[in-house]
Structure 1
């Protein structure tokens, strides 16, 4: 009999955010490679810009859907712009309430998995886990409330305290907590009081079938006139915690280098602010593009000479930018504009695949960019090392690690 696994997360296919893509790949692999029966309770697509993103609910609060043999219960939660604090809260609470309602449509579950969109969804996971006497796994994308540090409204002490209490409760009640690295693991044990034996590390990944090195002279680079530039690229979510303002400031410092171009690919709550700042500085060395479809990712990533992976001060161990893994798979050198204790900085040092700049320090970032701009051999060596290490962060390894964890929990349950 197939193992019945229920996932809760607001975003899922056809969203093309990193978390949505990773979750979609994991669920697909659990069905295809490990004969699991997967049900996903998610919200409406977070963007209507992509094919397949329009769903007609009529008067219904819950819509049944499917994707590659994954059963989907898609709830009619609000989908307001997250730039407004109150509208973002509405998105979270409407999904939370409707996912709880949708859980009554479940006929059973052998295992329940929650992610962290929204941060309080673990409460619904606890309820469903208790109802079906099934183990609960919380797969952390971020640790809250700390990871919300840059968001509007995040300084509200009452909300922060409530988020902290909810997350401590869920984390300590869960049968297993999956985190993204050693520093996050230590944060959970030392600061959240989670038992060490309950915390497992499974990193995010990149699918080498979707992202791999191709020629610099590819359709994306040609169509967007990138071939004659040294391209400094950021590709991913433009969120408040990213520290992308540092890249705009660095672009300002490098404005006299006419062959250096800063390319931003993605969407997010600070994208418009970044564009306005670039316009304020009258920068001609920045370009902004939307998220690229999956079949163009190899082209877009290979159009870069180097990548920058930033994160604001104070967020190391509470958030791990998943964009590092497609950068490795594309075989590109990178500058991690991030605290030295973070997972990405450790990876850059250990495998010699990137440079480290002080976070939120445009001058230091600029120095590191210029070091790679001037040294083609260093770029080549770092890029080769990155590609070599990408095999350790593949989709196959990640999916199998999750399956083995699920199997271990279910075997333990049988032996009780």
Structure 2
């Protein structure tokens, strides 16, 4: 029997460091390892940095990666984003029509309306579609105040979303809050599976500070490192953390590391330009092969969640922190997926290794944030390490990459004959 073809459509893909692209690559390579013929249609340029160019075609992890020209113009403005997304969708449709016929198409929300390309391909190729909802729009632009719910583009996108949800064959939501929002648009509960994405790094990526080249490079050996790593989006407000860092300049041991990029990094950049604080460091996205070192250099990782965005975006960065055995400092509402994790660890009996895996702070409260940070920095190193150990244990037991990536691959191949 000939091999079954699986097509991924995603504007981002490795080696681009964006989280969605890394998850798509993990899933694609898992399917290729199972013997399926996997092809990816993606952008030929970096998503955050469009000056970054990638090969037009290559094989990565057994996956045939096809990259399209003029399909990412960066994040300079909404117009640049939309133009790049439209050019990508048009090219992806044409490539899908004339390449090998896919039995299944996997599509996410990069770009937000990527499912349109998948449905256009299905119109000609009669493929089934798995829709992996990584975030929700226009919900996100409404929650961040970019557009009003009554705006015509918002109404059009909501109508389009309802149609897309009805048309795809399977929906994967990242948490129960996201599934609830999807079902509020259109009841797709009969074809929706809910489970979170997996951590990009592995448990063995936990590197002691004394052996970590990133620590040596940035002079962190004698510092207590508070880190925010990943996309700095408008959905992750950093203002109170940055302001708290400025008030804590009197503590020479504290170092605040902001690693990554995005429009939400403006408070960090502004603070550095206006105050030149020695305790705040801003770095760009790290290469994929260096992330294990940067994540492991932190003593505690910050996870933020805007209350209005629960169920719209998913706090993926929490998994990276937990996988390298670091506790988390959570800024955000209850309930949310992060509090589900915090509470799950607390619910495990102490004799089985349960207990707290982090701390919580109130978003927008600079004074309370500074007080919590002083408390954390004064916590005995053994307790910090124990909270990190519990976090790592929770990931290994319930949220490992092997387990979750395997479950996603099972959904994709459901109904297909096993390849030779």
Q: TM-score, normalised by structure 1?
A: 0.89
Instruction: Say if 1:119 and 1:222 are closer, same or farther in 2 by CA, change over 3 A.
Output: same
Deviation at 1:78? 4.1
2:40 aligned with 1:40: yes
The equivalent residue for 1:124 is: 117
Aligned residues: 402
Instruction: Say if 1:187 and 1:152 are closer, same or farther in 2 by CA, change over 3 A.
Output: closer
The equivalent residue for 1:178 is: 172
CA distances 1:122-164 after superposition (whole Å, capped 9, x unpaired): 1111122233322211101101112235768445822222222
CA distance in 1, matches of 2:159, 2:174: 21
Q: Cα RMSD between the aligned structures?
A: 2.4
The equivalent residue for 1:76 is: 69
Instruction: Say if 1:97 and 1:214 are closer, same or farther in 2 by CA, change over 3 A.
Output: same
- From 385, 400, 411, give the equivalent of 1:405: 411
- Native 8 Å contact 2:238 2:267 kept in 1: no
Alignment of structure 1 residues 147-226 onto 2, 5 Å: 147-149=140-142, 153-155=146-148, 157-189=151-183, 191-209=184-202, 212-217=205-210, 218-226=212-220
Deviation at 1:365? 2.9
CA distance in 2, matches of 1:211, 1:153: 41
Instruction: Say if 1:75 and 1:271 are closer, same or farther in 2 by CA, change over 3 A.
Output: same
Between 1:361-370 and 1:386-395, the stretch displaced more is 361-370
Q: TM-score, normalised by structure 2?
A: 0.89
CA distances 1:368-411 after superposition (whole Å, capped 9, x unpaired): 32222121244222211101012122221122101211233447
2:24 aligned with 1:18: no
Alignment of structure 1 residues 310-321 onto 2, 5 Å: 310-321=304-315
- From 359, 381, 385, give the equivalent of 2:386: 381
The equivalent residue for 2:370 is: 366
The equivalent residue for 1:276 is: 270
Deviation at 1:283? 2.4
- Native 8 Å contact 2:301 2:327 kept in 1: yes
Between 1:328-337 and 1:156-165, the stretch displaced more is 156-165
The equivalent residue for 2:97 is: 104
- Native 8 Å contact 1:13 1:45 kept in 2: no
Local SS of the residue matching 1:227? coil
Between 1:202-211 and 1:218-227, the stretch displaced more is 202-211
CA distances 1:47-83 after superposition (whole Å, capped 9, x unpaired): 6979x95347xxxxxx444323212221113432313
The equivalent residue for 2:229 is: 235
Gap regions ≥5 residues in structure 2: 346-355
- Native 8 Å contact 1:312 1:338 kept in 2: yes
CA distance in 1, matches of 2:196, 2:394: 13
- Native 8 Å contact 1:119 1:167 kept in 2: no
Local SS of the residue matching 1:225? coil
Instruction: Say if 1:364 and 1:260 are closer, same or farther in 2 by CA, change over 3 A.
Output: same
